[in-house]
Amino acid sequence: MEMMTEGAHIARHEAGRVPAAPRAGEYLTYRVGGEEYGVDIQTVQEIRSYEQPTRVPGAASFVKGVVNLRGVIVPIVDLRLRLDCAEAEYTPFTVVIVLAARERVVGVVVDSVSDVMDLPEASVMPPPELADSPASDFITGIAGVGDRMLMLVDMNRLLGTTLGEIPEVQ
């Protein structure tokens, strides 16, 4: 019997749905666990330096806690833990991308932010078939950028069940 980590289990739980088709457009690129990813810039509200959030008792291990962002309580999810990467140290390059996902504002901790890229349609390819891989549920495409490969992420899919596990804080 295969042992699954908490993040892999949650991603598989969402497996019944098909992620959005890859598309051209502007993407914010960021690094998590040595890999480079891109998120649709239209979902990004701001980028902030990492500050220790207030822990939420009983939250999943990848939910670092919550912060008060100009009067809005924002849950903070560490993508390294959510993607089952080795937990890295928080460095001066560690940032929080604040974005809109599932009709909520959420912050995701990433190792670093790289760039905003305008990806033409010709550079965006469908993701490879990754049988039984949780990544196939939220990777919507792969973009070739020079000699690099950029994985395009559907944050609504990646954070889908995660947001249901974060208690509402009033």
Does position 120 have pLDDT exceeding 80, yes or no? yes
The pLDDT confidence band at residue 43, using thresholds 50, 70 and 90, is very high
Please state which CATH class domain 6-164 belongs to. mainly beta
Q: Where are the domains of the chain?
A: 6-164
What residues pair up with 30 in beta bridges, in sequence order?
37, 113
- Return the closest-CA partner of residue 25 out of 124, 153, 149: 124
Confidence (pLDDT) at 95: 97
Is pTM beyond 0.85? Reply is no
CB 150 within 8 A of CB 141: no
Segment 91-96 mean pLDDT: 94
Averaged pLDDT, 68-88: 87
Q: 167 pLDDT exceeds 90?
A: no
Which one, of 92, 147, 152, 83, lies nearest residue 117 by Cα?
Answer: 152
Question: Which of 99, 116, 84, 108 is CA-nearest to residue 9?
Answer: 84
Give the integer Cα–Cα distance in Å for 79 and 118.
23
Residues facing 44 on adjacent strands = 99
- Work out the pLDDT band at 66, boundaries 50, 70, 90: very high
d(Cα 163, Cα 160) in Å, to the nearest integer? 6
Rounded distance, CA 40 to CA 138, Å?
13
